Amino acid sequence: MSIYSCKLLVENKSMIVYGIPNCDTIKKTKDWLTKHKINFEFHDYKKEGISKAKLETWSKQVGWEILLNKKSSTWRGLSSTEQGKITGQPAAIKLMMENTSIIKRPVIELTNGTIVVGYDEEKFIKQLK
């Protein structure tokens, strides 16, 4: 499927891009969506936070292990003791609510609730058709 075909299929779908505005991956995602004329809203974790219910819903879809970005500088900045406490979904969600920078970016949520996690143009096209 071409990018153009993808655009035609999604131009009437609303979606939300979750992240932090100064993140390079978020900037790249927003640029890609804008370039392909795909409308979206932006949810700024730093200003709006994230709810426990939303993280639980996402975790059911993709698993908390996908959402929790262990490659992030925020994760690396935690002590090994703090990292060791994250052994299940409740602890991971608590950490993600307290440190939203540790959530993998972007999380793109379509109106049907389906999410795409991480920057991947092929996934974008597949999920947006």
Q: Report the alpha-carbon distance of residue 78 to residue 25 in Å, rounded.
A: 22
Q: What is the pTM of this model?
A: 0.86
- Count of domains observed in the chain: 1
Say what the pLDDT of residue 129 is. Answer: 67
Active site residues: 23
pLDDT of amino acid 2: 40
Measured distance CA(11)–CA(128) in Å, rounded: 9
Q: What is the pLDDT of residue 13?
A: 54
Residue pair 13/108 in contact by the 8 Å Cβ criterion: no
> What is the predicted pLDDT for the residue at 1?
37
* Per-residue pLDDT, 126: 84
Among 40, 37, 41, 31, which residue's Cα sits nearest to residue 6? 37
Domain carrying residue 51: 3-128
Query: With a cut of 70, which residues of the chain have pLDDT below it?
Result: 1-13, 129
Tell me what pLDDT residue 4 has: 39
Q: What is the CATH number of the domain that holds 8?
A: 3.40.30.10
